[in-house]
Each structure stands twice: as structure tokens, then as C-alpha cells.
Amino acid sequence: MSDTEKNIETVCAVVVTYNRKNLLLECLEALRRQTRPLQGIYIIDNASTDGTPELLLEKGYIKELPPKDLKEPWEKEFEIDNLTNGESIKIHYVRMHENTGGAGGFYEGVKRGYEKGYDWLWLMDDDAEPKEDTLEKLLKVKELNTNENIYNCVLCPLIIMKDGKVQSYHHKKINKILGTEKPAIKFSKIEEIKAKNLFKEIDANAFVGPLLHRCIIEKVGYPKKELFIWGDDLEFTFRIKQKGFKIKLVMNAFIFHKDSGYAFAKKLPKDQYWKVYFGTRNRIFITKNYFSLFSLFYWIMRILFSFLKNKDIDLYKIKLRGLKDGLNFE
């Protein structure tokens, strides 16, 4: 019996990966263990060079390897059983011909999942690991909060680390005057969650577990692939908010995030300065498209005077290039 015949809304995870095959496998195993089973998983492999396809083949997620020297994305559909009731999950493996960044990966996954006809798309990086009941709790918002139309909401699980600390900076409140963001929640541990405050409206969220219905994609479109990295999730979720939909944080649904902490709070090694270029360019792009001229002036001044803080001429040159390109970026 098909999912349509059983009248089950179909859910497809979109997982973007690049050279983190072991983290990817942990993410996929967690998706297979969901108490509310998924119907599909899109794996967007951004031309990984660490043996990702070979590991997926070994573990039974795919049945054949992609061709070598691809000139365009290659997609193949396979099946694997979930670990809850043994029903099959469709595995849509997309091997990109080049690294398109997180933004390009989520563009491909959302577009392909939408065109494939899935009702819900669940977006996450490869370093995310949802708890077994995360999807079930996200979709139960409909029962627990009857005043909310969940089809008009992006439903976001609380992003936590393995030690229970909350990565609150991934759930954003936007200052509409300056175009800056701050954490939408103030607590730092899951023990501080109050039962009466399980749902909180926020302005934007990271690509670590947001679940959205296809009706939102129909009206808002896809993530902007040209952003490459840093800011693509902010732009997409805030664009959804600007179109009149809601971004809801569901604080009894947890997703583990296995990164090393907030990247912007740490000094990057010089071989990763290129990321700052995209972060700066994308910040200017977002500001000029969603906020006022005053906020754009604020960010320009902030970037111009940033040299006074770290005195790193190489980093400053990269920021200036990002500023220039951001002003011209459409």
C-alpha cells in the first residue's frame, strides 16, 4: 500500500555533506531510527573526496558508485529499511560534480525534494543528529497547539550539544533597525525549559533541523545557491518570515549538533579566511535586500572599522573584497 493510499504525509530529509563521511553516517542512522518514520532522504554529496560514496555503498545506502569525472550532478534512487518498523526509505543520492557549498547543496536538495512531491522537507547538515522522537514531536505541534496552522510554519527543533548545552545562537531574533541578530532564547541548558513555553516564534534559524511544508516552498522558492556558505540559512528562513509565514522553535524536540561551537566567536586559521569573504559578502547582500539604508550604512562602517579590532591586514583585505562584491551582488 502506498503512502498516498495510507493517507500519510510524506517526509523527506535533505542532508548536505562534504568530506565528513563518518558524521554523515551517524546522521543517516539517526534518521532511520525516527519513531515517526521518514519516507525519503536526499543525500547531497558536494563532490566529497574522503570516500563518502564508498562508505555509503559499504553500509547499504547506495547500490552502485557514481561515475568518475562528472560534468553535472548525478542522481540515483535506492532503498533502505528504517530501524523502527522495517518499512523502506527511499534514498535519493545526488553526487554533485563540484562543491557548491552548503547553499548550493540545500538548493539542490530542496528543489529536487519539492519536485519529487514530498509533503515535508527536513533540512540538516551532516553534523546534525536528531533524537529518535524529534520528527514525531515536531509534527505533534498540530495536536498540542490547535491554534497554529503548522503548514504555515517552519518547525525547528532545539539545537543542543551532546552535553545538553543549548546552541542558542542558531535560533535568531533579528534587529530590524540594524539588521543584526541575537539568540532568540536566553537559557543555556535543556533543564531550564519550562513546559508552558514549549513553542517560541523566532525570526530565523540555522539549517540544523528546520521542517517545512511544500506549500511554503511553493510561495517562497528555494535557498539561494549563489551564497555558497555562511548566511544562506539566515537568508532563506528570514525570507520565509518576510513572506508572512512563521518560524517556530519547538523546545521539546531536540537535535544534536556536533560542531566545535560558534565559528564567528573563534579566530579562524589563515587557510580558512576565504570563509570570511563569503560571510562578509552575504551579510551585505542580506542587509541591502531586507533592511534599511541605515542598516546598510551601519554594516559598511562596521566592516570598514573592523581592522581596529584585530589588526590583521590579510583578513581586512578579504573583508573589503567581500564588502565590494556584496554591494554589487544580486
Nearest to residue 45, comparing CAs of 14, 80, 16? 16
List, in sequence order, the alpha helices (H) in 64-190: 101-116, 134-139, 141-144
Nearest to residue 152, comparing CAs of 92, 96, 212? 212
Per-residue pLDDT of the chain (330 residues; tens, 9 = 90+): 344 445 789 999 999 999 999 999 999 999 999 999 999 999 999 999 999 999 999 999 999 999 999 999 999 999 999 999 999 999 999 999 999 999 999 999 999 999 999 999 999 999 999 999 999 999 998 877 666 788 999 999 999 998 889 999 999 999 999 999 999 998 888 877 776 678 899 999 999 999 999 999 999 999 999 999 999 999 999 999 999 999 999 999 999 999 865 544 457 788 889 999 999 999 999 999 999 999 999 999 999 999 888 889 999 999 999 999 999 998
Question: Is 124 in contact with 130 (CB distance < 8 Å)?
Answer: yes
Alpha-carbon distance values, 155 to 78, 199, 254 (Å): 28, 10, 12
pLDDT at 186: 87
Q: Which residues pair with 122 in a beta bridge?
A: 13, 211
Residues 237 and 121: their CA atoms lie apart, in Å, by 14
Q: Which residues pair with 15 in a beta bridge?
A: 43, 124
Residues 66 and 62: their CA atoms lie apart, in Å, by 10
Residues in the chain: 330
Q: Is the dihedral of CA 274, 297, 206, 96 positive or negative?
A: negative
Residue ranges and CATH numbers for the domains of the chain are 11-261 (3.90.550.10), 267-328 (no CATH)
Residues 270 and 147: their CA atoms lie apart, in Å, by 50
Give the number of other CB atoms < 10 A from CB of residue 211. Answer: 25
CB burial of 260-277 (b: ≥16 within 10 Å; e: otherwise) equals eeeeeeeeeeeeeeebbb
Alpha-carbon distance values, 261 to 130, 168, 222, 256 (Å): 18, 11, 27, 12
Q: Which residue has the cell 533541523?
A: 209
CB burial of 241-250 (b: ≥16 within 10 Å; e: otherwise) equals beeebbbbbb
pLDDT at 195: 66
Pairing of strands 74-81, 88-95: antiparallel
Residues 72 and 237: their CA atoms lie apart, in Å, by 28
H helices then E strands: how many in the chain? Answer: 11, 13
CA trace torsion 258, 259, 262, 264 (10° rounding): -160
Question: Is 83 in contact with 33 (CB distance < 8 Å)?
Answer: yes
Residues 325 and 284: their CA atoms lie apart, in Å, by 9
